């Protein structure tokens, strides 16, 4: 069965997961994103079920599975799920000396338990908020505003981030990311919103960016949502001659300006369904910390103008979707067919009503229908830093 609309998706889901399963549009039938109810992600997937979920993500770019039971759900269930989509990637912030390890100066060391993010989050409001089991896995990045927070703290608000895809500067980029939503803020003190639209500091974006692009970059949600842009739909809507030009365009991907980096196609073609999307990267400059992307054959300034125009098109409101997180949801998105952005947020809080706590896992490589994955040691050593495999016990019920 070809999965290309909600009706065919519902038929396939009910055939493999049961007649109680429902699927609905996050926005409408013509836009990316579907919400699925009735699938219990605490249970291992059968081969056909895993294959179907990969096909659904390929078709709709964002999948949100509602009502995962917080009393039974553990973060190991999220990590097991991630393994079906790709190899989970450990996060540098989970290590005590990641940069020294990268430079070859010392063996890699985990942070002491007292310094781990899960411990710090759980100590902000003792006996009121506690991280879920397995949140200390190296593959888990805890998105939170609990570290350094507490009843006696002064509230702080941070601006939103850049539009991006996760870790797009490596030879094999991240394909898939996912959240398990533990807590979302429920206060609305700023004209009906959680936070005001705090703007980033000067220099965050290139000062010569045009006004329309700047407006679209800064039009972020204000209630803790994650903002997405559909890069497959944005590419599809361009004139055919322009699409052909973009498909032949190469971008130099690099982390630092001093890095040689490597050339990658601007347009990604999904090998499973043939859908093409803009990727790697669409942005031209992200401030002082990450090197500007450069188009092969163009100067740095001409590259910026070329990519700024493309980013402005991609951030057109008709390709945008701001995802409202709900406690107990698991939301998965394709990094190969979307851009996303973290919104302005309270980063230090003094009330549990402002708590934002989610567990994120990202992965790369090919999907697998059966677990554990059989990625070779050579592949892991080349593409996963530091090399990591999910513990075998995470695959048990």
Q: Looking up tokens 């493999």, which residue turns up?
A: 16
Give the span between the Cα atoms of 363 and 78, in whole angstroms: 12
- Could you please report the per-residue DSSP string of 312-355? HHHTSGGGEEEE---TT-EEEEETTSEEEEPPPEEEE-SSGGG-
Q: Which residue reads 């039009």 in tokens? A: 219
Residue 318: count other Cβ atoms within 10 Å of its Cβ: 11
pLDDT of residue 284: 64
Count of other CB atoms within 10 angstroms of residue 338: 27
With 0-12 CB in 10 A as exposed, 13-18 as middle and 19+ as buried, what is 145? buried
- In our burial notation (b when 16+ CB lie closer than 10 A, e otherwise), range 150-173 reads eeeeeeebbbbbbbbbbebbbeeb
From CA 224, how far away is CA 355, in angstroms rounded?
Answer: 10
d(CA 146, CA 131) in angstroms, rounded, equals 10
Asked if 330 and 82 touch (Cβ cutoff 8 Å), the reply is: no
Per-residue pLDDT tens digits of the chain, which is 397 residues long: 678 788 999 999 999 999 999 999 999 999 999 999 999 999 999 999 999 999 999 999 999 999 997 778 999 999 999 999 999 999 999 999 988 888 889 999 999 999 999 999 999 999 999 999 999 999 999 999 999 999 999 999 999 998 988 877 777 889 999 999 999 999 999 999 999 999 998 888 888 889 999 999 999 999 999 999 999 999 999 999 999 999 999 998 877 778 888 898 999 999 999 999 999 777 766 666 677 888 999 998 999 999 999 999 999 999 999 999 999 999 999 999 999 999 999 999 999 999 999 999 999 999 999 999 999 999 999 999 899 999 999 998 7
Residue 230 φ/ψ, nearest 5 degrees: -90, 105
Closest CA to 153 of 164, 161, 145: 145
The domain ranges of the chain are 6-395
SS3 360: strand
Identify the pLDDT of residue 19: 96
The encoded tokens of residue 341 equal 């952005």
Tell the CATH topology of 6-395. Answer: Double-stranded beta-helix (3.60.130)
pLDDT tens for each residue of 134-163: 999 999 999 999 999 999 999 999 999 989
Q: What is the pLDDT of residue 285?
A: 62
Region for residue 302 given its phi and psi (left: phi exceeds 0; alpha: psi -120 to 50; beta: otherwise) = alpha
| pLDDT of 286 | 63
- Which tokens hold the place of 160? 């939103």
Tell me what pLDDT residue 287 has. 61
On the 0-12 / 13-18 / 19+ scale of CB atoms within 10 A, 393 is exposed
Give the C-alpha distances (Å, rounded to integers) separating 96 from 92, 149, 230, 296, 391: 9, 21, 36, 38, 20
The pLDDT of residue 356 is 98
User: What gap in Å lies between CA 140 and CA 49, rounded to an integer?
Assistant: 24
pLDDT at 103: 85
CA pair distance 214, 217, nearest whole angstrom: 5
* Per-residue pLDDT, 235: 98
Report the alpha-carbon distance of residue 169 to residue 67 in Å, rounded: 34
* Torsion (CA) 47, 50, 56, 62 in degrees, nearest 10: 180
């Amino acid at each position: 069965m070809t999965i290309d609309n909600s009706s065919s998706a519902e038929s396939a889901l009910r055939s493999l997961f049961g007649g109680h399963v429902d699927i609905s549009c996050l926005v409408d039938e013509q836009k990316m994103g579907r919400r699925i109810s009735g699938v219990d992600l605490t249970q291992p997937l059968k081969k056909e079920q895993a294959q179907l979920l990969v096909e659904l993500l390929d078709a709709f770019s964002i999948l949100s599975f509602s009502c995962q039971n917080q009393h039974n759900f553990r973060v190991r269930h999220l990590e097991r799920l991630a393994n079906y989509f790709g190899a989970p990637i450990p996060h540098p912030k989970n290590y005590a000396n990641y940069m020294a390890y990268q430079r070859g100066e010392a063996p890699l060391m985990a942070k002491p338990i007292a310094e781990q993010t899960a411990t710090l989050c759980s100590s902000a409001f003792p006996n009121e908020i506690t991280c879920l089991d397995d949140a200390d896995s190296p593959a888990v990045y805890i998105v939170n505003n609990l570290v350094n927070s507490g009843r006696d703290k002064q509230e702080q608000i941070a601006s939103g981030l850049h539009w991006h895809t996760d870790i797009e500067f490596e030879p094999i980029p991240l394909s898939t990311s996912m959240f398990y939503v533990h807590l979302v803020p429920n206060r609305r003190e700023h004209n009906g919103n959680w936070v005001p639209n705090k703007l980033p500091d000067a220099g965050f974006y290139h000062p010569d960016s045009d006004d329309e692009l700047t407006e679209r970059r800064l039009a972020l949600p204000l209630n803790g949502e994650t903002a997405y842009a559909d890069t497959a739909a944005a590419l599809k809507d361009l004139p055919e001659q322009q699409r052909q030009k973009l498909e032949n365009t190469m971008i130099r991907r690099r982390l630092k300006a001093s890095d040689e980096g490597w050339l990658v196609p601007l347009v990604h073609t999904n090998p499973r369904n043939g859908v093409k999307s803009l990727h790697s990267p669409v942005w031209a400059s992200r401030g002082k910390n990450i090197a500007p992307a450069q188009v092969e054959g163009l100067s740095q300034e001409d590259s910026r103008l070329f990519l700024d125009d493309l980013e402005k098109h991609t951030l057109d409101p008709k390709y945008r979707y701001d995802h409202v997180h709900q406690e107990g949801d698991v939301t998965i998105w394709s990094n190969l067919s979307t851009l996303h952005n973290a919104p302005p947020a309270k980063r230090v809080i003094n009330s549990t009503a402002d708590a934002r706590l989610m567990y994120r896992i990202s992965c790369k490589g090919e999907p697998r229908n059966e677990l554990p994955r059989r990625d070779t040691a050579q592949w892991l050593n080349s593409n996963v830093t530091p090399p990591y495999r999910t513990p075998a016990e995470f695959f048990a019920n």
